[in-house]
Amino acid sequence: MKTLMIAAAAALTPPSVPLKDKLQAAIWADLQLNALIGNGNWLAALWYNAPAGDGQNLHIADLLCGKHHAEQRCSFTLLRDGGPSMVLGQPAPDKLVCDARFTHSRDGWAVVHTPPRGHGHSQTTLKCKV
């Protein structure tokens, strides 16, 4: 099991700059959508919706992806300057470790969404933990 985890981690590399920019744009779009409709990533919604005071900027760091053509699986870190905050009475962390699946279509890159669970909105594959 440990060998499999090491091999999986070794397969992830930083994407080329043009691809990195497109994947980061897809992450921002998915975070914004998730923050508006709540489609499966409560921690990311808290992180994204935390009050943005002076010097509290949001960042995507450490983007690493597998080598595929029309699909990507990537890991990354979401960082917010200014430390933890409170949103809706809940703590919003300033750092999350995330992964997501991406797909490419004629419209560009996007985070993969799965069908709704019975009703409501599609579910994002962008998953984060503290």
- For the segment 84-115, what is each residue's pLDDT rounded down to a tens digit? 888 888 889 999 999 999 999 999 999 999 98
Instruction: For residue 118, give its domain range.
Output: 2-129
Hey, is 38 helix, strand or coil? coil
What's residue 5's pLDDT?
46
Hey, is 114 helix, strand or coil? strand
- For the segment 51-73, what is each residue's pLDDT rounded down to a tens digit? 765 556 899 999 999 877 778 99
The phi and psi torsions of 11 (rounded to 5 degrees) equal -75, -15
The CATH number of the domain where 99 resides is what? 3.10.450
Domains contained in the chain, number: 1
